[in-house]
Structure 1
Amino acid sequence: MNMKMVYMTLNGDIPSRKANGIGVINICSQFADCGFDVELILLKYKSLTPDLINNKINVFDFYSVTENFKIKYLSIPFFLSFPRQLGYSAVAVLRKAFSGNSLFYSRHVELAFFAALFGKISVFESHNYLKARQSPVYHLWLKTMQNRFKKTALIVTTQAGKKSYIQDEVPEDKILVEPNGVNKNQFDISKSIETLKSTIQIPIDKKTVGFCGHLYKGRGIEELLECADYLKKVFFLIVGGEPEDINRNKKLAKKFNLANVKFTGFVPQSKVPEYLLASDILVMPYTKKTLTHRYMSPMKMFDYLACGRPIVATDFPVIREVLKDRKNAVLVPQGSGHDIAAGIKWFIDNPESAKRISEQAAKDALQHTWEIRAKRITEWLRKIFKIH
């Protein structure tokens, strides 16, 4: 009989445009393939859209994963919805605490704390050390991690995150570093780059630089548009973004009088690989204004690797944990459109090096699939908790 995994999250907006949902759904599916009986618990009042209620949206189809685990929506009393993290966490864990021999897995420290408090196997996957540290139960959760009689564990996505938790006296042997992942199969598209460019209506005769993700301030879009001003003969494809962010950046593009930029707006997750593969070069222009730049493990980084395209990324220590300058990417100083342009131009001027770096990126992506990630986590959990 498979061991039950109760995967819990406070982010109930699934399906959605956010990267969080991609990670949650993909890893749950892969944990199920690893032998766990997975049940994903979502917050009902935030998650259930009219389309979901009427079964017009299939979550598994939306994220292109196998329907091999259960999804359950929990409602909570209205008087516990604030503070949401504590009220929902306590009630949600309590409702599932008597479901037999279960492993509780969560991306939120509040849920991890209550699972440990109720004597369950509790695994906390932290994607943002700073956010976790702000929680009112953070120091109580630390005590559960420091208690050798508690079955608790921590998974972080970067070495930087591990270092910070160790400084807070989390035992090192209770921490596993496992970066985010990618669904490599989604990028196995046989269409030529010319066909893909034609399909999405961008110039076939120009080099295309692609970006995919949110366009919030601090994500480097302003610097990317500055870069587009330097490289007028290169076309820039900007995929994603909320309407208000797109409008703000379109005004900036108009100010620069840029005719070589296209904003696509939201693109369904299943179609994103085609847009990335229509690009000759991919960019990741994060800046220090991105609050999580010290701890982030961006999912777009692994999508880019899977494309096997040249990558230009801004140089942060956490980025260097995966991307190596002149080996699987070109790293440039943050905050400068000129430096991003220099990285792009280097790839254009050095096609043989670009080919070598792209091939290495594709090889490296194979070590960061959701499947491989789930297997490594599962092996580690079975070892430290002695479960089968």
Structure 2
Amino acid sequence: MVSDLVSIWNIRTSERSYTVNYDVKEWVSSLPFSKPEIEILPHGIDVPELLRQTEQSVGSTSEHKFILCYVGSFKDYHCLQPLIQAISRLREDDYDVGLSLVGTGPELNSIRKAVEQHEISSATTFHGFVDPSKVPKYIRSADASYGVIDPERTGSPMKVYEYLANGTPVIATSGEEFDFIEKEQIGVLIEEPTSKAVVNAIKAIYNIPESERSEMEDRVRDVGYKNGVTWAEFANRVITE
């Protein structure tokens, strides 16, 4: 592809290379004539105020005891089908879990059908496209957020950092970039995006007492600030090195 050729040319002619994760670093390292200095700079976010967020979570007006939020594009690699199946299984087991879906995308209709087929329409809200400035409100109204991607896909979801910056525990795909999530006890990582794995991840957060969950929200923000970086901060770091 043209984009790959451009990337290879840039890598070979640069003094230093930066990659978004370990998989890309390995690819860059495998290229002939690639420079030995390769540093990982994970995805940043474009909304600095998210990382500086200090206000408390917005109280949810939901009738459900626990709300799980997803924000982003409706695409296969975001593994929304296992999420729908997991919510259905949890509700069958009397877990009062509601689902808040923010965004749109090519798989929106299939997700709507899956919600109907699994009979969780009454527990699911499709908010559609939301102005980016208003997205934090939806994240902070949730008890946890979903940032799982297909582990075969190279890359990491920027939404995970945005979730953390807004104080919600996260469910994400296991990987070295996100090791800090379990180390700091601010979410759950899963190896494979199966409905069973998602069920267990949601249960782990659902069963945390509300008093401890409130304390966790403050810890999540602190960790989000410490580990999340904006694109502007990345650029300044590259320029000054």
Q: Please report the TM-score for the alignment, with normalisation by the length of structure 1.
A: 0.53
Superposed, 1:160-199 pairs within 5 Å as: 160-168=23-31, 169-173=33-37, 175-182=38-45, 183-186=47-50, 188=53, 190=55, 192-194=57-59, 197-198=60-61
Residue 350 of structure 1 corresponds to: 208
Question: Structure 1: which 5+ residue stretches go unaligned?
Answer: 1-82, 86-131, 146-151, 381-388
Please give the secondary structure, in 2, of the residue aligned with 1:172. coil
For residues 86 and 193 of structure 2, what CA distance do their matches in structure 1 show?
A: 11
Residue 313 of structure 1 corresponds to: 172
Residue 283 of structure 1 corresponds to: 146
Residue among 140, 152, 157 paired with 2:20:
157
Q: Which amino acid aligns with 1:341?
A: V
Superposed structure 1 runs of 4+ greater than 6 Å apart:
none
Please give the secondary structure, in 2, of the residue aligned with 1:323. helix
Q: Which amino acid aligns with 1:254?
A: E
- Checking the alignment, whether the CA contact within 8 Å between 1:207 and 1:234 is kept in structure 2 is yes
Structure 1 residues 326 and 230, CA, compared in 2 at 3 Å: closer, same or farther? farther
For residues 282 and 340 of structure 1, what CA distance do their matches in structure 2 show?
A: 12
Residue 238 of structure 2 corresponds to: 377
Aligned residue pair count: 230
For residues 143 and 326 of structure 1, what CA distance do their matches in structure 2 show?
A: 38
Residue 337 of structure 1 corresponds to: 195
Structure 1 residues 310 and 248, CA, compared in 2 at 3 Å: closer, same or farther? same
Q: Give, in angstroms, the shift of residue 261 of structure 1.
A: 1.2
Q: Which amino acid aligns with 1:327?
A: Q
Q: Which amino acid aligns with 1:369?
A: V
- Checking the alignment, whether the CA contact within 8 Å between 2:64 and 2:97 is kept in structure 1 is no
Structure 1 residues 334 and 358, CA, compared in 2 at 3 Å: closer, same or farther? farther
For residues 140 and 240 of structure 1, what CA distance do their matches in structure 2 show?
A: 36
Structure 1 residues 321 and 297, CA, compared in 2 at 3 Å: closer, same or farther? farther
Residue among 360, 365, 386 paired with 2:224:
365
For residues 349 and 256 of structure 1, what CA distance do their matches in structure 2 show?
A: 23
Q: Which has the higher contact order (CA 8 A, sep 6+)?
A: 2
- Checking the alignment, whether the CA contact within 8 Å between 2:50 and 2:165 is kept in structure 1 is no
Structure 1 residues 346 and 140, CA, compared in 2 at 3 Å: closer, same or farther? closer
Q: Which amino acid aligns with 2:28?
A: Y
Residue 144 of structure 1 corresponds to: 13
Q: Which amino acid aligns with 2:118?
A: F
Please give the secondary structure, in 1, of the residue aligned with 2:65. coil
Q: Does 1:218 align with 2:77?
A: yes
For residues 208 and 377 of structure 1, what CA distance do their matches in structure 2 show?
A: 39
Question: Structure 2: which 5+ residue stretches go unaligned?
Answer: none
Task: Tell me the percent identity.
Answer: 19
Structure 1 residues 346 and 209, CA, compared in 2 at 3 Å: closer, same or farther? same
Q: Does 1:230 align with 2:89?
A: yes
Structure 1 residues 327 and 184, CA, compared in 2 at 3 Å: closer, same or farther? farther
C-alpha distance after superposition, 1:226-264 (max 9, x if no partner): 01102221001011122x422111111111111211111
- Checking the alignment, whether the CA contact within 8 Å between 2:42 and 2:177 is kept in structure 1 is no
Residue 248 of structure 1 corresponds to: 110
Question: Higher Cα Rg: structure 1 or 2?
Answer: 1
Structure 1 residues 179 and 321, CA, compared in 2 at 3 Å: closer, same or farther? farther
Measured on the aligned residues, the alpha-carbon RMSD in Å equals 2.7
Q: Which amino acid aligns with 2:113?
A: K
Residue 69 of structure 1 corresponds to: none
